Chains A and B, each alone.
Chain A
């Protein structure tokens, strides 16, 4: 039974389109995250939610909007996709915010053409 699952695993889309990536965790964790991994494998935090409330919002373009309908879900919506948005996006969760292990999903490889 997958702990952190995200869909889709692969996403190929044209510039200018709007797309969403969904994430769900069944661990009962209070905190969820979105990370972006670039072509050089660098993992950078984008957002963090704790009990549906945004607690970390790094310097990310306004085109990226996270939505947390409940504490088990954190979806990522991206408007007006650009070539530079191509990356692997990872969802993660942890029992609370900071000082604990984060559990990662399998990633969504987004390719913008």
Chain B
């Protein structure tokens, strides 16, 4: 089975709210984690990544948190906008392997 999974298949929020998308991974040897956004009819697009020697990384409106103790990853989106509506995937890997993806969370933003 997959080594990375997401807790919720769907998440609905109002425009302006903060969104939190969660992910649990099972491979303790993974040392690189990444969040992708996939809009309808398009390929996954990079949002933010984090390495295992960090527990937090911030981008523009997005923050990724990594808890290696419980093997948990989360993506926080501040002031969610309708354009954020998409499917979000977390993925993990280690050197020499391909990215392994979780099942994805569909984020719906209503205005």
Contact = CB atoms under 8 A, between A and B. Distances in A.
A43 B98 contact: no
B103 interface: yes
Interface stretch (B18-26, B40-48, B54-62): B40-48
B101 A42 contact: yes
Contacts of B41: 106-107
B97 A90 contact: no
Interface of A: 4, 33, 35, 40-45, 48, 55-56, 90, 92, 97-107
Interface residues of B, number: 28
Contact of B98 (A41, A56, A103): A56
B32 A45 contact: no
Interface of B: 2, 31-32, 34, 36, 38, 41-46, 49, 51, 87, 89, 93-101, 103-104, 106
B26 to A, nearest CB: 16
Given A43-B89, A101-B46, A107-B43, 14 more contacts: A41-B38, A41-B104, A42-B104, A43-B44, A90-B44, A97-B98, A98-B32, A99-B32, A99-B94, A101-B34, A102-B98, A104-B44, A104-B45, A107-B42
Contacts, number: 64
B99 to A, nearest CB: 6
Contacts of B103: 40-42
A43 B101 contact: yes
B93 A90 contact: no
A106 B43 CA distance: 4
Contacts of B38: 41
